[in-house]
Amino acid sequence: MSFWRKVFAITWKDVLAEMRTKEIISAVLVFTLLVIVIFNFAFGTSPDVVKLVASGMLWVTFAFSGVLSLNRAFVMEKEEGCFEGLMVAPVSREIIYTGKMLGSLLFLLIIEAIALPIFAFLFNLGVFSWQLIVIVFLTTVGFVGVGTLFSALAVNTKAREMVLPILFFPIVIPIIIGAVKASESALSGGSWGDISSWLGITGAFDVIFLVVSYLIFAFVIEE
Amino acid sequence: MKRYLLLALSFTLMVVSLYFVFVWVPTERMMGIVQRIFYLMVPTGWLTLLSFLIVFIGSILYLVKREEKWDILAYCSGEIGLVFTTLALITGSIWAKPIWGVWWDWGTPRLTSTLVLWFIYLAYFLVRSFASEPSRGARFAAVVGIVGFVDIPIVILSTTLWQGMHPPPLIFQEAGLDPRMMLTLQVSLIAYTVLFVILLIARVLLKNSEVDIRYLKEG
Amino acid sequence: MGGANTASQALSVKVEGLTKSFGNRLTLRGIDLEVKQGESVVIFGPNGAGKTTLLKVLATIMNPTSGRILIDGLDVKNQAEQARRRIGIVTHNTFLYGNLTAYENLDFYCRLYDVPGRQQRIQEIIEMVGMTPRLHQRVSTLSRGMQQRISIARSLLHKPAIMLLDEAETGLDQQATAMLWEALAAEGGKRRTIILTTHNLERGLKVAERVLILDKGIITYQGSTKAMNLPALERVYHSSTENEP
C-alpha cells in the first residue's frame, strides 16, 4: 500500500540519519544513565528502598528520556527547510505524522531496551518479565503518540525545548501513573490479572491519542 | 437589556444560595460547619469541567471554520475556567485540612485530577504566549484544548484507580444527603452556572473590543 | 487526467481571488493570475511584498485564507496530492538532510513521489547536474553551491510540469545558473511552466516571458518582457512599488 510505503520511507530516512550521527540515542542514553545514578544517590540502594521506589524511578527516568528524544524529532526537519520538502511532496499530513511517530517510537524503545538491563544490573532487580515488557511498550506508544504531535508544535514556537515538557507531562500523567503502578506489580512478580486494569487504561490512552493526534496533526504543521 | 435581566437573576440566585448555605441548611453532623464549603466546592468543580467543555467545542470549531470568534470563545472560557479551577483547588484544600488533617490530600482523586486539569489549562495559555504570532498561537492552543479535554476522563479514571477506588459516583447520587442539603446544592449549582454565563459573555465582549483595538493599532 | 475542462487545459496555474493572512495581517490581498503551459513568469517586488508567500501557497505548503488555486486544472483544496505531483520547487533552502548522502536524499524523495526506476532516475538526474562523483558523499560535507545543485536535482526527480523558483539563483555560481536553466528546459520535449521570484531585474528580464510586480500583496503591474529593456523595467518597477507615506 502506498500509505505505508511512504510512511516507512520517512521512518527509514530518520533511522538512516540516526545511524549516521547517533545523536538522539547516544545523548539520551547517557542522560538516562545519569538520572539512574543520581537516583541511586538520592535514595540509596538498600533492597527495601529499591523495592519501594524502583518503579517510580524507572518511569521518571523514561518520561524525561522521552521528552528529551521527542524534542529532537523535528529539529532535523527544520534545518534547510526539509519540512517544507515534505509538505510539497504528494504525501498526506497523516503520513508525515505516522512516519515521524514510528521513528520516535523505535528510538525510544531502543533506548529503553538498553537502559532496562542496566537499571536491573545496578539495582539488582529482575526486570525480565513479559508483563514489564508489555507495560514499557504500551506506555512508550502513548508517549510518542501524543509526543510527536506536541513535538511538531513545540518546534514551531519561540521557546522550543521549554514548550514540549509543559504540554507533554500533564497529558501523559494518566499513563505514567499506570506505568508506575503496573511496573511495581510486575517487578514484585505480580500476575497479568493484577495489572490488567492499568494495561486497559494505557491501551485506551494509546488508541485515543494516536487517533486524535493523527487527525489534528495537519493543523499543527500548516502555515 | 437582556444582560441586565441575567445579572438580576444571577444576583437573586446568589443571595438565595448564600442564605441557604449560611443560614438555612442544617449543619452536617460529622464534619461540622466546614462542610458548608461543599456548596462552593461542588459548583467550582462543575464549572471547571463546563468551561473546559466550551474550550473544547470552541477549539474544534476554530480549527474547522477558522473564524476568530470561536477562538475568542475558547480563550475566554479557558480564562474563567482557570479561575474556577484555582478556586476548586483552594476550596478543596480548605475542606481537606479539618477533615483529613492535611492541606493537600493526594488520595482524593477529584482533587488530584483537578490539579492535572489546572496544569493543562496553564499549558493552554502558555502555548499562546510562546507562539510567534497570535493566529498561530490560537491554532496551537486549540490543539492543546482538544487534546486536554479528551484527556480528562482518562485522568479521572487513572487517579481514581491509583487510590484503589472505583470511579466516583455522580454528585446527585450521593446517598443520604438531606433533602435540604440537596436543594442548597442544586441552588448553588444553578447560581454559579448563571454567574459563569454572565462572566463569559462579559469577557467575550471585552475580548472583542481588545481585538478591535489591536486591529486599529496595527492598521 | 480527469477534472480539467477544455477551457483551462492550456493553463498550468490559475489563481482566483487569492488572499493569505497571518492573523490580521494580510500578506496577499486578492491575487488573480493565469499562467499558460510552458510559459515562464517572473515575479518582482520589494521584501515583504508577498512573493515567497505566493509561491508557498502555490506549492501547497501554505493554505490560502480564501480564493481558489488550480494546478493543471486540479483544485489544490481537494486534489492536493495530485496537484503536488506536478510541482517542483527550488528555494534558497535545499530541503536536503545534511546527515544523509546525496543518493539517500534523492532516494527518499523518489519514494515520496513514487518515482519508478529510482536508481536509474537518480543516476540520470545527478549526471544532469554534474554531481555524479559526489553522489555518495554526505550532503553536509559539500559546498553550498554543490548542495544547491543537488537540490535542483531533487526538485526535478519526478519530472514536474511546473517549476517554482524562489530566489533559486542566489548562491549559485554562473556555471550552476546556466546548468539550472539547462536542466529546466531539457526534459520531456514539452516546455515546463516556470514561475520564479528574484531581486535581480536583469536576470528576470532575461529568462522570463512575462513580468509581474507584486507590492503589498497585490499585483501592481503585469506585462510581456518582449518589448521591454532594463531601464524601462526599472522605471516600471519604481512606479509600481512606490511606498505609501
Instruction: Compute the average pLDDT of residues B52-71.
Output: 93
Q: Is the pLDDT of residue B164 over 70?
A: no
Mean per-residue pLDDT over chain C, rounded: 85
Mean per-residue pLDDT over chain B, rounded: 85
Q: Is the pLDDT of residue B169 over 70?
A: no
The more confident residue out of C113 and C204 is: C113
Question: CA torsion angle for B199, B204, B209, B211 (degrees, to 10)?
Answer: 140
Question: Could you tell me if B64 lies within 8 Å of chain A, comparing CB atoms?
Answer: no
Instruction: Give the model confidence (pLDDT) of A51-94 as tens digits.
Output: 888 899 999 999 999 999 999 999 889 888 899 999 999 999 99
Yes or no, beta carbons of B143 and A170 under 8 Å apart: no
Task: Name the residue ranges covered by the structural domains of chain C.
Answer: 1-86+161-245, 96-159
Which residues does chain A have within 8 Å of residue C136's beta carbon, measured at their own beta carbons? none
Nearest chain A alpha carbon to C164: A88
Give chains near A: 3+ CB pairs under 8 A. Answer: B, C
pLDDT at residue number B175: 54
CB atoms within 10 A of CB A211: 12
C40: enclosing H helix or E strand: strand C40-44
Instruction: Compute the average pLDDT of residues C101-106.
Output: 94
- Residue B84: inside a domain: yes
Question: Could you tell me if B214 lies within 8 Å of chain C, comparing CB atoms?
Answer: yes
Query: Whose CA is closest to C200, among C231, C170, C163?
Result: C170
Grid cell listed for C217: 500583496
Least confident span in A42-51, B116-125, B207-216, C35-44: A42-51
Grid cell listed for A220: 499543527
Nearest chain B alpha carbon to C22: B135
Instruction: Compute the average pLDDT of residues C62-85.
Output: 90
Using a pLDDT cut of 90, give the percent of chain C over it: 38
Which residues does chain B have within 8 Å of residue A59's beta carbon, measured at their own beta carbons? none
Q: Is the pLDDT of residue B167 over 70?
A: no
In this prediction, residue B176 has a pLDDT band, given cuts at 50, 70 and 90, of low
Which of C95, C99, C114 has its CB closest to that of A17? C99
Using a pLDDT cut of 70, give the percent of chain C over it: 93
B32: enclosing H helix or E strand: none
Angle ∠(C81,C114,A12) on CA atoms, nearest 5: 105
C5 has which bridge partners? none
Least confident span in B22-26, B158-162, B208-212: B22-26
Using a pLDDT cut of 90, give the percent of chain B over it: 40
Structural contact between residues A90 and C113, judged by C-beta atoms closer than 8 angstroms: yes
Query: Whose CA is closest to A168, among A155, A185, A188, A151?
Result: A151
In this prediction, residue C189 has a pLDDT band, given cuts at 50, 70 and 90, of low
Which residues does chain C have within 8 Å of residue A81's beta carbon, measured at their own beta carbons? 91, 93-95
C-alpha distances (whole Å) from C144 to each of A195, C51, C94, C131, C134 are 56, 24, 9, 13, 13
Query: Whose CA is closest to B142, among A212, C221, C195, C77?
Result: A212
Question: Could you tell me if B134 lies within 8 Å of chain C, comparing CB atoms?
Answer: yes
Angle ∠(A127,A133,A137) on CA atoms, nearest 5: 140
pLDDT at residue number C184: 83
Question: Could you tell me if B148 lies within 8 Å of chain A, comparing CB atoms?
Answer: yes
Cα B96 to Cα B100: distance, rounded to the nearest angstrom: 5
Burial of A15-37, coded b for 16+ CB within 10 Å and e otherwise, reads: ebbbebeebbbebbbebbbebbe
Identity at B215, one-letter amino acid code: Y
The more confident residue out of C194 and B214 is: C194
Which residues does chain C have within 8 Å of residue A92's beta carbon, measured at their own beta carbons? 81
Yes or no, beta carbons of B130 and A162 under 8 Å apart: yes
- Residue B96: inside a domain: yes
Give the A window 102-121 contacts with B, CB below 8 Å: none
pLDDT at residue number B172: 46
pLDDT at residue number C78: 86
Query: Whose CA is closest to C28, among C52, C5, C12?
Result: C52
The ipTM of this complex is: 0.91
Span C1-86+161-245: which CATH code?
A: 3.40.50.300
Grid cell listed for B174: 450521593
Cα C18 to Cα C49: distance, rounded to the nearest angstrom: 14
Least confident span in B115-129, B188-202, C83-97, C168-182: C168-182
Cα A64 to Cα A57: distance, rounded to the nearest angstrom: 11
Least confident span in A26-35, A208-217, B120-129, B181-190: B181-190
In this prediction, residue B165 has a pLDDT band, given cuts at 50, 70 and 90, of low
- Residue B19: inside a domain: no
Give the domain extent around B152.
40-218
- Residue B81: inside a domain: yes
- Phi and psi at B7, nearest 5°, equal -65, -45
Q: Is the pLDDT of residue A28 over 50?
A: yes
Instruction: Give the model confidence (pLDDT) of A137-191 as tens digits.
Output: 999 999 999 999 999 999 989 888 889 999 999 999 999 999 999 998 888 888 8
Cα C42 to Cα C200: distance, rounded to the nearest angstrom: 10
pLDDT at residue number A177: 92
Q: Is the pLDDT of residue B173 over 70?
A: no
The DSSP result for C51-62, as a single string, is HHHHHHHHTTSS
Interface test with B, best of C20, C24, C27, C244 (most B CBs within 10 A): C24
* Residue A81 Rama label (left phi>0; alpha psi -120 to 50; beta): left
Number of domains in chain B: 1
SS3 of C197, please?
strand
Residue C49's contacts (CB-CB under 8 Å, 6 or more residues apart) are: C214, C215, C216, C217, C241
Angle of the A93-123 helix axis to the A23-43 helix axis, nearest 10: 40
Query: How many CA atoms lie within 13 Å of A107's alpha carbon, on the beta-carbon side?
Result: 36
Instruction: Give the model confidence (pLDDT) of B2-46 as tens digits.
Output: 778 888 888 888 888 888 877 787 777 666 777 788 888 888 989
pLDDT at residue number A214: 95
Least confident span in A33-37, A100-104, B176-180: B176-180
- Residue B7: inside a domain: no
Q: Is the pLDDT of residue A195 over 90?
A: no
pLDDT at residue number C243: 55
Residue A3's contacts (CB-CB under 8 Å, 6 or more residues apart) are: A95
Task: Name the residue ranges covered by the structural domains of chain A.
Answer: 2-221
Instruction: Give the model confidence (pLDDT) of B65-122 as tens digits.
Output: 888 899 999 999 999 999 999 999 998 888 877 777 777 777 777 888 899 999 999 9
Residue B24's contacts (CB-CB under 8 Å, 6 or more residues apart) are: B180, B184
Instruction: Give the model confidence (pLDDT) of A196-205 as tens digits.
Output: 889 999 999 9
CB atoms within 10 A of CB A66: 29
Least confident span in A134-138, B7-11, C123-127: B7-11
C-alpha distances (whole Å) from A82 to each of B53, B213, C32, C144, C158 are 37, 38, 29, 16, 17
